[in-house]
Amino acid sequence: MRAALLRAPQAAPELIGRMDTFAERLRALSWQLWGDAARSRLDEPGPLSIGRRVGTVAGGHWDTRQEPTATFRTLLSSAQADFATFEAELTQLLEQDLAALERDLEAAGAPWTPGRGLP
Amino acid sequence: MRIRLTLLRCLAILGIAWPASSASGQDAATVDSAIASLELRSIGPALMGGRISDIAVDPTRPTHWFVAAGSGGLWKTVNAGITWTPVFDDQPSYSIGALAIDPTTPDVVWVGTGENVSGRHVGWGDGVYRSRDAGQTWEQMGLTTSQHIGRILVHPDDGDVVYVAAEGPLWSAGGERGVYKSTDGGATWRAVLTIDEHTGVTDLEFAPDNPDVMYAAAYQRRRHVWSFLGGGPNSGIYKSTDGGDTWRQVTTGLPKGDVGKIGLAVTPADPSLVYATIEADEDERGFYRSQDRGESWEHRNSYISGGTGPHYYQEIEASPTDPDLIYQMDVFVHVTRDGGATFDYLGTGREKHSDNHAMWIDPYHGGHLLVGTDAGLYETFDEGVTYRHFPNLPVSQFYKVALDNAEPFYNVVGGAQDLGTLLGPSRTTNIEGVRNRDWYVPLGADGHAAAFDPTDDHTVYMETQVGNLYRYDRRSEEGIAIQPQPAPGDPPERRNWDAPLLVSPHAPQRVYHGSQRLWRSDDRGDSWTAVSGDLTRNENRYELEFMGRVWSVDALYDNGAMSQYATLSAVSESPLVEGLIYVGTDDGLVQVTEDGGANWRRIENLPGFPTRGFVNDVEASQHDENGIFVAGDNHKLGDFRPYLYESTDRGRSWRSIAGDLPDGTLVWAIEQDHVNPDLLFLATEFGLYTSLNHGRNWHMLRGGVPTISFRDLEIQRRDNDLVGASFGRGFYVLDDYTPLRTMAANGLAASTLFPVRDAWWYVPLAPMQAPGKPTLGSTDYTAPNPPFGAVFTYYLDDVPPTARAARRDRERALRDAGADVPFPGWDALRAEIGERGPQVLLIVRDAEGQAVRWIEGPAEAGLHRASWDLRRPLPDPVDLVVPDFVPPWGGEPRGPLAPPGTYSVELLLASGLRGDYGVPGGDRRTLAAGIGCRREDR
């Protein structure tokens, strides 16, 4: 989309800022799901991501018939709650903000980008 | 058929009847010597080997190989690996980085001590050694401050010309680092390539057709507790054209930025080629080739070794016959067949263990390779399609050990470097001993702390690196992850590579585990509560110095496969006061809580302990509710001194108990005897020690133990055994250390028979048909059981010489004084004839006092052990004929089993004269300890 924007000279400059904001919000959501990339790049532990919590439970319980531990239940419970928030924010981001961004890009004459429906 | 064993357990019933002399009456050398006589028992295992750092094959005797363990000494085979002999065990260093055989005189072997990888766990060396008799004896040849040797080259035509690539100290500046050249067989060395105080040389090559042309890989790196900086601006490739006398850096086509570890290779198939694998940033790293003898280089591929980090591998070996064929050491061996344009895995990774460090290519059969890995040595004849493992090198590196209370014999569990967690018996009820197949690996990856549930031998807690904690059920052989997790909104947990773990001595279901805070579970790890806040200094490792300054986050840090920083490193709860808990940290702190974690007191006043020292161990006293021991470590700042402390007021004041430990003895772990508070045991970088006087004097437990690092130790209280976890030679057991307890209480008495431990009564099983190796062959590895039956320990302070020996001593003195030697007289000479010499006999009697068996024991001054096999004497007619050959199924002649019951034992010493039985001085008092028996079924 950023490439398409640069090929739409009629686009308002504020669209660039909106796209940056969109990318930041998407990155923040991604980090909620998968963890803090800045910290992991330097091999530093970060806050437990949703994915890490689910992965910990799955990996730690995949090959045993033992009852899930209380820690696992707590992790899943918090992951479930955070995922609900995450899902709502992502839905908002995709269905409203992204859709609006795409409409404005299209209106500005930006070319089609992969992943979008054909106009 | 499954045999049900009937066991008889023997109970000690009597103490020693012999009067003891005071400890002060014994000089330290005598005590040292006596303690050194106590033999420890290696129990292996060898099923997974350990890290191999280099391989050298005798070019004239292709079945003679030398294999260096990164930490575990040097091993030699003369039968292509069917059997091995450790040939470096008595040297001061156990860590080896490089080997070289003199091509002109293959009996001359060179060893560079100090591993050439820069791992978080490596040992250090004390220079280069030379053997001139194919490994039988060694001479220290200097470069004692190099600490890590990357490569040794011997001139192809002149064995007196030797080159050493010294990486130099890993944890500090300075030392001998660079290229050193000797032209007198190592008598003197000249530094011919010196870069700076932080940069050494990790690899070195001759041009195959001209040894005056040489290539060197300079390596700037530094490790501290907090991080590993794997490269810098001063790494690079250097070239000499005058036999190493002068060098210049070559740069054309090579990386412009910081560089880390470089591996070099040349090939006689095309002497103009030089290959280099170069650690650098993402844009410049990769595989390089020079086609003009190192003058200019071409970047062929971005591939470098990975996994634990480039520093752990990054060695390449070129085929001597195919100029485009190069193998690269990595987690999985990689191979290029087109001079580095493309790389592929060699094999599927399922044929052998990963983590490859060394390779030897058979010059006459290219598919024949020897490969050294983290799990020992492998051999392939089809270039890696299939391998055989050598399961007879007991060089596993254990971080930690724990013991259960199983009967008849307890089990041992320990976490090992890259071998996971291994669990096996301390001894077995078969005639063979502790075999590889008695061990298994319930958890993979790197293994670390472990603990048995003291009330349930089936429940074991184990960890992989960075505190991944599991609870394992030995009945189902299933594990479940039980690592404590932070609550939403909590700061991230930081965990040590070797995170602390403890089962409370007050409640078997209570488990403690450390991140930067202490966690407690009261349900065997199902749920956890943090019982502290952050107990560390909580410093950001990227704000701490390397080589005198703080580096950019874009520097060549390699922290992926190492500990997180500012973490707990040790935990102990007083066995006397519930909730009195001590922790140590990796950044120099001890913290104590007296109320189960509600309140913590920070301790920073250990005298002389560096601010950012590493607390290796904290151990609450077994006897004093206010007592605590601390073992500290500063070796990752280049300081190897022993930091060993005791407090008797819960950490408010401290005193050193390092006593007379040799300087440079890094201390890893301490244990206190549960009966005698003055009897201490210590695991150190170069062996196990004991103190009989609460740390004033330390005595090495050297009997049967090579020079090796012990990183942990544990006491089995029921059996009074001491088990040490060596970092490179598996586990060692000191069976029944109670003589030390007696010595600590009473001193080393004049001629003592020590109390006798209970003995299990059973008929040892012959699982493979017969004694020996009639089925499994000589390669089969088995560690010995202790002697079967009742083991008697006795000390003889002096043994009367025979009349002949006494006469000769007198005559020698006279001769030395230039005096006449008088004729001894016919009677004296007649008396000498037939003297047997001193003899020790132990008489075993039953409960009625009837003699059951004579046992012969060693009759020299010192501490000895002898055993009774719980049988009566052999009833067969005496036959003094020794047949030339006895088939294995012929067995050993044995008497009938002695019945269960109570027995006692007496010690008698016969002097040199016939019929003169008694103890020295003619006193005929007997020394008696008792062994009683009760029947048990298993």
Residues of B in contact with A61 (CB under 8 A): 480-481
A59/B493 CB distance under 8 A: no
Nearest to B492 among A46, A78, A82 (CB): A46
Residues of A in contact with B480 (CB under 8 A): 60-61, 64, 66, 69
| Segment B640-662 mean pLDDT | 98
pLDDT for res B20: 32
pLDDT for res B517: 98
Nearest C-alpha of chain A: how many angstroms from B538? Answer: 13
A63/B478 CB distance under 8 A: yes
Nearest to A69 among B480, B488, B491 (CB): B480
pLDDT for res A117: 73
Query: CB contacts < 8 Å between A and B, how many?
Result: 71
Sequence-distant (≥ 6) Cβ neighbours of residue B251 within 8 angstroms:
B236
Q: 3-state class of B15 per DSSP?
A: coil
Query: Cα separation of B362 and B80, whole Å?
Result: 13
Residue that is written with structure tokens 């874009």 in the block: B554
- What confidence tier does B839 reach under pLDDT thresholds 50, 70, 90? confident
Nearest to A64 among B480, B494, B528 (CB): B480
| Segment B666-695 mean pLDDT | 98
Q: How many CB atoms lie within 10 A of CB B836?
A: 12
Q: With a CB-CB cutoff of 8 Å, which residues 60-119 of chain A face chain B?
A: 60-61, 63-66, 69-71, 74-75, 78, 82
Query: Cα separation of B617 and B633, whole Å?
Result: 9
* Preferred mutation among B485, B509, B559 to probe A, highest tally of A CBs within 10 A: B485
Please indicate if any CB of chain B lies within 8 Å of the CB of A48: yes
- Mean per-residue pLDDT of chain B: 93
pLDDT for res A41: 94
B479/A39 CB distance under 8 A: no
pLDDT for res B923: 36
Query: Containing H/E element for B378?
Result: strand B376-380
Nearest C-alpha of chain B: how many angstroms from A74? Answer: 9
A71/B528 CB distance under 8 A: yes
Residues of A in contact with B562 (CB under 8 A): 43
Nearest to A59 among B481, B495, B527 (CB): B481
Q: Which residue(s) pair with B540 in the sheet?
A: none
B527/A63 CB distance under 8 A: no
pTM for the full model? 0.94
Give CA separation, A57 vs B446, B476, B509, B518, in Å. 21, 20, 22, 22
Residues of A in contact with B281 (CB under 8 A): none
Residues of A in contact with B478 (CB under 8 A): 63-66
How many Cα neighbours within 13 Å face the side chain of B848?
4
Please indicate if any CB of chain A lies within 8 Å of the CB of B553: yes
- What confidence tier does B921 reach under pLDDT thresholds 50, 70, 90? very low
B485/A65 CB distance under 8 A: no
Residue that is written with structure tokens 């014994």 in the block: B26
| Segment B292-312 mean pLDDT | 95
pLDDT for res A113: 85
Task: Using the predicted structure, report yes or no on whether residue B934 has a pLDDT greater than 50.
Answer: no
Nearest C-alpha of chain A: how many angstroms from B552? Answer: 11
A69/B482 CB distance under 8 A: yes
Q: What is the DSSP letter of B35?
A: H
* Poorest-pLDDT segment among B88-92, B683-687, B832-836: B832-836
Residues of A in contact with B473 (CB under 8 A): 66
Between B558 and B20, residue with greater pLDDT? B558
Please indicate if any CB of chain B lies within 8 Å of the CB of A47: yes
Nearest to B478 among A48, A66, A70 (CB): A66
Give CA separation, B563 vs A45, B34, B258, B523, in Å. 11, 41, 24, 28
Nearest to A45 among B473, B493, B526 (CB): B493
| Segment A95-116 mean pLDDT | 89
Residues of A in contact with B309 (CB under 8 A): none
pLDDT for res B431: 92
Q: How many CB atoms lie within 10 A of CB B362?
A: 15
Task: Using the predicted structure, report yes or no on whether residue B424 has a pLDDT greater than 50.
Answer: yes
Nearest C-alpha of chain B: how many angstroms from A64? Answer: 5
Nearest C-alpha of chain A: how many angstroms from B332? Answer: 22
Q: With a CB-CB cutoff of 8 Å, which residues 507-546 of chain B face chain A?
A: 523, 525-528, 542
Of residues B39, B40, B33, the one with CA closest to residue B798 = B33
Residues of B in contact with A39 (CB under 8 A): 492
Q: What is the DSSP string of B638-695?
A: TEEEEEEEEESSTTSS-EE--TTPPTT--EEEEEE-SS-TT-EEEEETTEEEEESSTT
pLDDT tens track for B241-284: 999 999 999 999 999 999 999 999 999 999 999 999 999 999 99
Q: With a CB-CB cutoff of 8 Å, which residues 440-499 of chain B face chain A?
A: 470, 473, 476, 478-488, 491-495
Query: Containing H/E element for A77?
Result: helix A70-92
B479/A63 CB distance under 8 A: yes
Structure tokens at B179: 């290229």
Task: Using the predicted structure, report yes or no on whether residue B498 has a pLDDT greater than 70.
Answer: yes
- What confidence tier does B18 reach under pLDDT thresholds 50, 70, 90? very low
Structure tokens at B235: 């790494």
Nearest C-alpha of chain B: how many angstroms from A87? Answer: 18
- What confidence tier does A119 reach under pLDDT thresholds 50, 70, 90? low
Task: Using the predicted structure, report yes or no on whether residue B356 has a pLDDT greater than 90.
Answer: yes
Give CA separation, B662 vs B149, B694, B699, in Å. 24, 16, 10
pLDDT for res B331: 97
Minimum Cα–Cα distance from A35: chain B residue: B492
Burial B486-519 (b: 16+ CB within 10 A, else e): beeeeebbbbbbbbbbbbbbeeebbbbbbbbbbb
Minimum Cα–Cα distance from A38: chain B residue: B553
pLDDT for res B831: 86
Nearest to B527 among A44, A59, A71 (CB): A71
Between B126 and B806, residue with greater pLDDT? B126
Give CA separation, B425 vs B433, B767, B862, in Å. 10, 16, 31
Task: Using the predicted structure, report yes or no on whether residue B4 has a pLDDT greater than 90.
Answer: no
- Mean per-residue pLDDT of chain A: 93
* Poorest-pLDDT segment among B12-26, B409-423, B677-691: B12-26
Query: Cα separation of B815 and B822, whole Å?
Result: 11
